[in-house]
Chains A and B, each alone.
Chain A
Amino acid sequence: MVDAPSYGVGTDWRRFEPVLLRLMDVEGSETLSVYRDHGGYTALEKALAESAPDELIELVKDSGLRGRGGAGFPAGLKWSFIPKDPSLPKYLACNADESEPGSFKDRYFIERDPHQLLEGMLITSYAIAAELAYIYIRGEFVHGTRVLERAIDEARQAGLIGKNILGSGFNCEVYVHRGAGAYICGEETGMLSSLEGMRGEPKLKPPFPAVKGLYGMPTVINNVETLACVPHIVQYGAEWFKSIGTEKSTGPKVFCLAGHVERPGLYEYPLGISLRDLIEEVGGGMLGGRPLKGVIPGGSSTAVLPPDKLDTPLDFESVAEAGSMLGTASLIVMDKTVCMVKAAANLAHFYSHESCGQCSQCREGTTWMAKILDRIEAGRGRKEDLDTLLDMCHSMKGTTICFLSDSAAIPTEAFIAHYGEEFEQHINEGRCPITPVERLR
């Protein structure tokens, strides 16, 4: 074993030193020299020199690393699905199409520490025997695209990307592919369609991308943060990674804190930190000291939690038990001044705009959901509207090619479940009972 790191120790969040974000505030953190000064690319050297690809897959499996892009699927297991047939070309696609409302972590990873991601991608490519890797970055991240391209150039000149990397005989090319503004391209099969130069429409699974992905070949798709964890696991071992977080949700996690908190931002803590600690201590408490009304724990696609769930530990299992999902761990905090009908309508409009239109349940469902919620908010709601909405939500779940339809139904259902009285008040009184607050300074 190598020396234990000075950072990322234990489960006590108060004494936790960031692992993934440790270079974010260092001057020049996006350059190769600074990254190397902080021990960068030693994990790649170690992996290439000491481990067979299969050993790396086992190592990541053993670490318990779960996908950080929303679904929480074990990363090592995903890698192990790649067929071993040497005649098939294999691909790695990094999902940097971050567009989940509430999430902004991947943008920081790319802009502030691109080499950490590249190192993770190179190790992953080696583990799955991929010689071509793409980073699908969302089109709006123009600055991020430039930073990544510069980082790739630097790494290529240093012999870290290209032919015979570090003299190991392993070849790997990494390219940036810029999206063009479509949330659905964050869905893995939608992303592959887009990468192939088509409309970003998701495809039916199975076959899963691990068997038939990019250009019909085996492909691993991982989120930026997932890949950024890989070098640290290689460097310090699965046991170290497992010592952080909870038993089933291992490792450090980057939390995006947004909405009505005093200090919104990006924070890294072990999985399992409580919602209350994150909002009250890390986030500096509620904005203006106003009481909490609800919090969306994992990005806009997850169910809102009422204040009585404040003591929920933020790990995959506990959040699911509380009736929601950890998702991308992007918290949207809402105080008492928020009209929950308006909030639900805002998100419904998002999904209506982003539905790719292939499946009727989603195309029609999201559109009508937004219209009905707008109607309720405007005071023109009908008695039967809530039943209609719940009925629609039911038929939108599990009936479409991809998860977008479900992602629109889940939050709407939760808003109605927890704040049903407010919805009924809108309908009965024929107006929005919440007084609007001046928010822009």
Chain B
Amino acid sequence: MRPVAANRGGSRGLRFGSSAIPFFDDPLVPFFTYQWSGDALVLDAPFLETLERIEARYPDRRSAMLPALYLLQERDGYITPEGMQALAAHFDISPMAVYEVASFYTLFHFSPPGRHQIQVCRTLPCALRGAGEVVTHICNRLDIDVGERTSDGTFSLQTVECLGSCDTAPMMQVNDLYYDNLTRAEIDAILDELRDQEASHTKRPGPDGY
């Protein structure tokens, strides 16, 4: 279904038969795979209520586009075509115009990421302190490559650009939390802890507000 992205993805592409499944975050994926349906979708009342409260902060309600996309992602786990269509109807613009905005920003995902999204900073200040080795270490521990998701959907791994924590390099962000001054032992402890949390069905901390 997604050969286009697999070819574009760069390093590895699809790895059949391995324990890992690819986690696509290439914004071009929906462009090729989305089926835009003609039906108008509506946003549910609580969603709309929150959105309207945010819109009141701006002279032009279109400014609430980013907060609206965050709300959508918080509700559905990622940005779905249906969600974008609903927002398009709400803002009275075309679905492609919503998608155009969403695909510009790296924090919006177009396929379900792992329940724990690991984002390792790879930019120079972290690289000088061993970010490359952090990535290798996590890849080996989880048996996945960068840009992939573990087969049980627990973890996904990405490298990202500077997260503004250069004094505590190397560092990574897992969901909303920063983990800094990483060592091998610490990475192991963090991964174990997150896996234990998963086992005990602890609710994943999500962003509050929007």
Contacts and interface: CB of A to CB of B under 8 A. Distances in A.
Interface residues of A, number: 63
A209 interface: no
B105 A182 contact: yes
Interface stretch (A120-128, A162-170, A196-204, A315-323): A196-204
Given A259-B128, A343-B124, A346-B123, A104 B165 contact: yes
Interface centre among B63, B176, B208 (most CB of A within 10 A): B63
Nearest to A259: B128
| 3 pairs of A and B residues whose beta carbons are closest in the complex | A197-B65, A439-B130, A180-B105
B201 interface: no
Given A140-B173, A332-B124, A149 B209 contact: yes
Nearest to B173: A140
Interface stretch (B14-22, B36-44, B54-62, B143-151): B54-62
B13 to A, nearest CB: 19
Interface of B: 57-60, 62-67, 69-70, 100-101, 104-108, 122-125, 127-130, 133-134, 137, 160-170, 173, 176-178, 182-184, 207-210
A99 B101 contact: no
A383 B37 CA distance: 54
A330 B124 CA distance: 12
Nearest to B121: A101
A261 to B, nearest CB: 10
Given A140-B173, A180-B106, A182-B104, A440 B182 contact: yes
Contacts of A251: none
A194 interface: yes
A404 interface: no
Contacts of B164: 98-99, 103-104, 106-107, 138, 140-141
Nearest to B185: A441
Given A139-B107, A332-B125, A440-B137, A350 B167 contact: no
Given A101-B161, A258-B169, A332-B125, A197 B104 contact: no
Given A139-B105, A178-B67, A199-B104, A354 B134 contact: no
A332 B134 CA distance: 20
A68 to B, nearest CB: 15
A441 B60 contact: no
A99 B162 contact: yes
Contacts of B165: 104, 107
B133 to A, nearest CB: 4
Interface centre among B123, B130, B137, B177 (most CB of A within 10 A): B123
Contacts of A201: 104
Contacts of B69: 180
A132 interface: yes
B176 A300 contact: no
A439 B124 CA distance: 13
Contact of A258 (B58, B107, B130, B167): B167
A256 B173 CA distance: 20
B80 to A, nearest CB: 17
Contacts of A199: 100-101, 104
A265 interface: yes
Contacts of B58: 175
Interface in A20-37: none
Given A103-B164, A438-B130, 15 more contacts: A98-B164, A179-B105, A180-B66, A180-B106, A180-B108, A181-B160, A197-B60, A215-B59, A215-B60, A258-B128, A264-B169, A346-B122, A350-B161, A439-B128, A440-B133
A141 B207 CA distance: 11
A133 to B, nearest CB: 11
21 contacts: A98-B164, A99-B162, A104-B164, A104-B165, A140-B163, A146-B208, A177-B63, A182-B104, A197-B62, A256-B166, A256-B167, A258-B128, A259-B129, A264-B168, A266-B167, A296-B124, A343-B127, A346-B127, A353-B161, A439-B133, A440-B129
Interface string A152-193: 000000000000000000000101011111110000000000
Interface string A114-145: 00000000000000000010000011111101
Contacts of A143: 176-178
Nearest to A353: B161
Contacts of B122: 346
Contacts of A343: 124, 127-128
A145 B160 CA distance: 20
A422 B62 CA distance: 51
Nearest to B136: A440
B167 A197 contact: no
A334 B209 contact: no
A197 B128 contact: no
Nearest to B73: A180
A257 interface: yes
Interface centre among B58, B62, B169, B173 (most CB of A within 10 A): B58
A104 B208 contact: no
A106 B57 CA distance: 24
Contacts of B169: 258, 264
Given A215-B59, A257-B167, A178 B66 contact: yes
Contact of A260 (B107, B128, B162, B177): B128
